[in-house]
């Protein structure tokens, strides 16, 4: 069993948990994910790793309440435990394999949309510890949904917050902020976008106008997390890839986003039905 050490809500439907998992904490790398299971009958849920601390043996996950399984996860309290907490899985971010001397000469820009801010954090933290210049654009619909801004400011050279409604920071989409930075003369060696599929698609279209190298994470496609279910199949560079075992990060310009979005919508009706049953179960329980 994997004990929940801390729990807090970053936003009304976004829950952060620190979980005791020493073996994962000692071997995790930026960009990787893990599989959690609440109990014996629980669904296997892939979640990206938000942070890890080898000294304390803790691993941080962030879950958005969107369906039956995430509702069960968010219902757990401090002192309770996950039945399974397996990882790290997936390939780490490409920069993990680069030499520090070469990394320090680069400038990175991260574009984080909504919950995508959570998996961006360990990447920025890693690069910060290597002395790399990083900037972050955080996007959310409204001020109440902006997460991890203060944590990001501790590790990034500069943080640009955007809200769709203008309630906080820059008013507009992350693509508008990206264009403003690039049109203003900012230059970057590499950009990374993590967030909703539609956001990553339009970030890719925008970045392409400036010939900006871009990596995206397709973690939202994953279901089983092992490549066996086939739910995360996606065409990358004309070849079939699996987000969980070949990724989750890929060259943005090689990804067929339209296909990925169609695949992502395949299980919405089943998830809605399962969530309804879960709400009833939690209420009666």
Task: Give the residue from 226, 225, 255 showing the smallest Cα distance to 238.
Answer: 255
For 12-157, where are the E strands, in sequence order? 14-20, 33-37, 45-53, 58-64, 81-82, 84-89, 107-113, 133-140
Other CB atoms within a 10 A radius of the CB of residue 263 amount to 20
Mean pLDDT, the chain, rounded, equals: 90
Q: Do the beta carbons of residue 67 and residue 45 sit within 8 Å?
A: no
Per residue in 82-116, pLDDT (tens digit) is: 999 999 999 999 999 999 999 999 999 999 999 99
Has residue 265 got a pLDDT over 80? no
- In percent, the amount of the chain with pLDDT more than 90 equals 78
Q: State the pLDDT at residue 268.
A: 53
Structure confidence by residue, pLDDT tens digits, 128-147? 999 999 999 999 999 999 99
Q: Show the DSSP H helices in the chain as ranges.
A: 22-27, 68-75, 100-103, 117-129, 149-153, 174-183, 197-209, 243-246, 257-264, 268-284
Entry field: residues in the chain? 285
Q: Would you give the end-to-end CA distance of the chain in angstroms?
A: 22
Residues 6+ away with beta carbon under 8 Å from 209:
none
Q: Per residue in 24-51, pLDDT tens?
A: 999 999 999 999 999 988 888 999 999 9
Domains along the sequence of the chain with CATH: 2-89 (2.40.30.10), 94-217 (3.40.50.80)
pLDDT digits (tens, 9 = 90+) for 44-81: 899 999 999 999 999 999 999 888 889 999 999 999 99
* Residue 152 pLDDT greater than 90, yes or no: yes
């Amino acid at each position: 069993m994997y004990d929940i050490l801390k729990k807090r809500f970053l936003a009304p439907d976004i829950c952060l948990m620190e979980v005791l998992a020493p073996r994962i904490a000692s071997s995790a790398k930026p960009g990787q994910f893990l599989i959690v299971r609440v109990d014996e009958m629980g669904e296997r849920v892939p979640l990206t790793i938000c942070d890890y601390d080898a000294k304390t043996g803790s691993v941080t996950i962030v879950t958005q309440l969107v369906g039956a399984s995430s509702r069960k996860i968010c219902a757990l309290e401090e002192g309770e435990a996950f039945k399974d907490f397996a990882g790290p899985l997936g390939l780490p971010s490409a920069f993990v394999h680069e030499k520090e001397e070469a990394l320090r000469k680069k400038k990175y820009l991260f574009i984080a949309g909504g919950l995508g801010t959570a998996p961006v954090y360990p990447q920025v933290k890693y690069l910060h510890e290597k002395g790399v210049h990083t900037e972050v654009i955080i996007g959310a619909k409204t001020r109440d949904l902006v997460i991890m801004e203060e944590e990001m400011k501790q590790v990034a050279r500069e943080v640009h917050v955007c809200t769709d409604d203008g309630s906080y920071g820059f008013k507009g989409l992350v693509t508008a902020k990206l264009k403003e930075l690039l049109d203003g003369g900012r230059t970057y060696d590499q950009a990374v976008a993590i967030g909703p599929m539609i956001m990553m698609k339009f970030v890719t279209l925008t970045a392409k106008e400036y010939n900006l190298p871009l990596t995206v994470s397709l973690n939202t496609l994953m279901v089983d997390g092992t490549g066996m279910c086939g739910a995360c199949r996606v065409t990358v560079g004309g070849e079939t890839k699996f987000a969980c075992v070949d990724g989750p990060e890929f060259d943005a310009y090689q990804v067929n986003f339209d296909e990925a979005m169609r695949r992502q919508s395949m299980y919405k009706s089943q998830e809605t039905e399962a969530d309804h049953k879960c709400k009833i179960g939690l209420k009666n329980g």
